Structure 1
Amino acid sequence: MAADSRRRKRPDEVLDAIEPPGNAEVVVGALTATLLVEILSALSGTEVWILALLVFLPSTASALCTVRQTGFVAAWTTVIVTITTALRAPAGGHWLDRTLLVLFTLALCVTSVYACHRRIRREAEMLRLRSTAAAMQRHILHPLPLLTGDVLVNGVYEPLQEDRLVGGDIYDVVDSPFGTRVLIGDVQGKGLAAVGAAFAVIGAFREAAHREPTLTALVDALDASVVRHNSYAAHTGDDERFVTALIIGVDVDTEVQAVNCGHVPPYVVHEGAVAQPPVETGVPLGLAELAEEPTTVSWFDFPEGATLLLSTDGLTETRAADGTFYPVEERLAKQLDLSPAALPQTLYEDARAFAGEGGQHDDIAVLTVRRSPRL
């Protein structure tokens, strides 16, 4: 059993996530199309209907079905075209025309099966790549909730996996000698290159958070890590990235420190009210050399019993089908009775419902930060 679980899956087995049509649907579709074509062929009295209408079945199956289903449709089509051509051959008709028609159909069917096989292999490979990248993200991002001597952090992290896109949303919490440092960020772009930049920032954060006594020095270290990553990317032909980030410093004081590097501002929920603290916004990580002003630390009140809400733009830029953006502050004000543990998941589900089928979705990370209970 262990060997079976470790063996490499065949392309057809990987298609479970792609959801091809059922075998019954394929059979019914092939029979229905064949019946319609035969009726049209009999009414018209020409074999052109067979060539023009029936031979499209294998090519359609190659785009939607498994290899076995496409093979069935191809074999069915070849048999029907061969029999119909033989039975309805006009008296004295040239045998070469009928032979060429059958050979053309056979060639098209073989090509369709091969094309289906190639499509499934590409889809299976992309599925493996996306699954691997998502697994890497989930393993390098510490599972929530996270508890330190200063804060309790709850949240939800949902990477979007559509087409070939893998998101670069990141978060981390470090219990350092200088208090707890909380990071939430978003790498520009998507794909495996974005995941690489995300890993570079997280690695630098976990190391520098213990070493640097100030948030400005910590942010400088993070910026340098993105610059180094971009330098490597340039040599390997990958695109350069920047990273928006919000870094929070919490200790025993009632005020907290924050450095906003082009990221979504935080919200503070306290005593039945929602407020957005005055946090100055700077340039994203990787672009510090373009900034006219040095990194600035903002301070704001974070009293006992308050909840700090941090998110990526996957929440704030969620849009409904009519283009309306998700009203975070308005929806947050309606969820004040929820616990900090339940709030992130509720906001995530509410944003997805707001966008609906025709709306715009993106990766989402939502964190709630609350002071740890003092014993």
Structure 2
Amino acid sequence: MRVLRWLPFVVMLGVAAIDLLAGQSVVFLPLLTLGPAFASVSGGVRRTAAVGAVALAICVPMALYNDLLFTWENNLTVIGIAGVTAASMLAARLRLERERELASVRQVAEAAQRVLLRPVPRRAGDLRVALSYTSAAAEARIGGDLYEIVTTPHGVRLLIGDVQGKGLAAVETAAWVLGAFREAAYDEADLADIGDRLEASLARHLGGEKFVTAIIAEVHETEMALVNFGHPPPLLVLGAGGLISVEPSEPGLPLGLGAFDPTAAKAYRVPFEGGDRILFFTDGVIEARNAAGEFYPLVERSGLLRREDPQAALDTLRADLVEHTGGPLLDDAAMLLLHRPRH
């Protein structure tokens, strides 16, 4: 940003220097219009006007040096600088108004997303819970990552998902999914029935081929039951050593696409005993790229999850993810880590 603020003055001084070095045979003064043009990119209306005034202040003595003062060539240059300055001032004003509108929309979307994604409990039953949510870059707007953990008469149940698309439409879809899950998690005894409730809710609100990838899970004493709706499989970090990608036996379609395959996604079970940890995540984690275009190697970095404190372990993994990309993420990245302590 600092470079952009000084760029108009550097350009105008450069034009003046080149004009002096070229002598009176070649005149570069019309290029002074680049000053106010560049100023409108990062500056306000007053700053753009000031840069235009500086351009005129440079133009007059340079025209005198080139014996062009009050000639029609120089008059056209002055008119050009004034015209470009006026147009740049208008462009700067429109840009600032647009930036304010976008900032307001983004704040509304972020507030709505914070209301939807209530703070998850740090303990649920005998489990310790860690959460990491990394917002995407400003260009990506607001994403549709969602998560929830509830303790029900049927046990601890959780949901993690990712809505197709960005912006307020994705936040609205996430609201429907979370609302349906929070009710069904208490009412339904079977995980597959919860999935049916979510599918029915989305069928009433989603149009076209929009969808939501998700995982619904239920924790038991020594195992965990899951239903996967086209979502990246979680990673099970065994307390005894080892790593398992918890792939479903029969892949299910994302929520919202149930009409294309009437076969309901089926629940499957994995061991989840004392000392084990399981990481649920959205595709913003594994699709994060570095400058060379390489995806984040989550499996290779899974050893970071073995730190004693689950939240510290997840924070370390998140820091490693951001370091891998070398800058803001292009998609939201949500991670949910469950740890079952040894009794």
Provide TM-score, normalisation by structure 2: 0.89
Structure-1 residue corresponding to 2:13:
32
Counterpart among 176, 188, 191 of residue 215 in structure 1: 191
Counterpart among 224, 229, 232 of residue 264 in structure 1: 232
Structure-2 residue corresponding to 1:152:
128
Structure-2 residue corresponding to 1:365:
334
Change (3 A) 1:37 1:114: farther
Instruction: Compute the RMSD of aligned alpha carbons.
Output: 2.7
Change (3 A) 1:325 1:103: closer
Q: How do 1:323-362 and structure 2 match up within 5 A?
A: 323-333=293-303, 335-356=305-326, 361-362=330-331
Which amino acid in the other structure matches residue 347 of structure 1?
L
Change (3 A) 1:22 1:314: closer
Assess if the C-alpha contact under 8 Å between 1:243 and 1:285 holds in 2.
yes
Output one character per residue of 1:44-69: Cα deviation in whole Å (capped at 9) or x when no partner. Answer: 345x4111x21111111111333332
Assess if the C-alpha contact under 8 Å between 2:307 and 2:313 holds in 1.
no
* Separation in 1, partners of 2:143, 2:242: 32
Output one character per residue of 1:300-355: Cα deviation in whole Å (capped at 9) or x when no partner. Answer: 11112211111111111222333332221221035423432222221121122223
Counterpart among 245, 250, 253 of residue 283 in structure 1: 253
Which amino acid in the other structure matches residue 54 of structure 1?
L
* Separation in 1, partners of 2:324, 2:76: 57
Q: Cα distance, 1:38 vs. partner? A: 4.2
Q: Cα distance, 1:157 vs. partner? A: 0.6
3-state SS of 1:342 partner: helix
Counterpart among 43, 49, 61 of residue 28 in structure 2: 49
Q: How do 1:152-301 and structure 2 match up within 5 A?
A: 152-231=128-207, 241-251=210-220, 253-269=221-237, 270-280=239-249, 281-291=251-261, 293-301=263-271
* Separation in 1, partners of 2:295, 2:15: 48
3-state SS of 2:173 partner: helix
Assess if the C-alpha contact under 8 Å between 2:127 and 2:341 holds in 1.
yes
* Separation in 2, partners of 1:277, 1:153: 19
Q: Cα distance, 1:145 vs. partner? A: 4.6
Output one character per residue of 1:233-264: Cα deviation in whole Å (capped at 9) or x when no partner. Answer: x7xxxxx521000111114x312210000001
Which amino acid in the other structure matches residue 215 of structure 2?
L
Provide TM-score, normalisation by structure 1: 0.81
Alignment size in residue pairs: 341
Which amino acid in the other structure matches residue 33 of structure 1?
G
**4+ runs of 1 displaced by more than 3 Å?**
19-23, 25-28, 82-91, 95-101, 371-374
Output one character per residue of 1:116-139: Cα deviation in whole Å (capped at 9) or x when no partner. Answer: 111122123212222331232123
Structure-1 residue corresponding to 2:88:
112
Q: 2:301 matched to 1:320?
A: no
* Separation in 1, partners of 2:108, 2:17: 45
Output one character per residue of 1:180-200: Cα deviation in whole Å (capped at 9) or x when no partner. Answer: 111111111222211211121
Which amino acid in the other structure matches residue 271 of structure 1?
A
Counterpart among 43, 48, 60 of residue 70 in structure 1: 48
Assess if the C-alpha contact under 8 Å between 2:18 and 2:28 holds in 1.
yes
3-state SS of 2:200 partner: helix
Change (3 A) 1:27 1:284: closer
Change (3 A) 1:60 1:166: same
Change (3 A) 1:338 1:67: farther
Which amino acid in the other structure matches residue 17 of structure 2?
L
Q: Cα distance, 1:97 vs. partner? A: 4.9
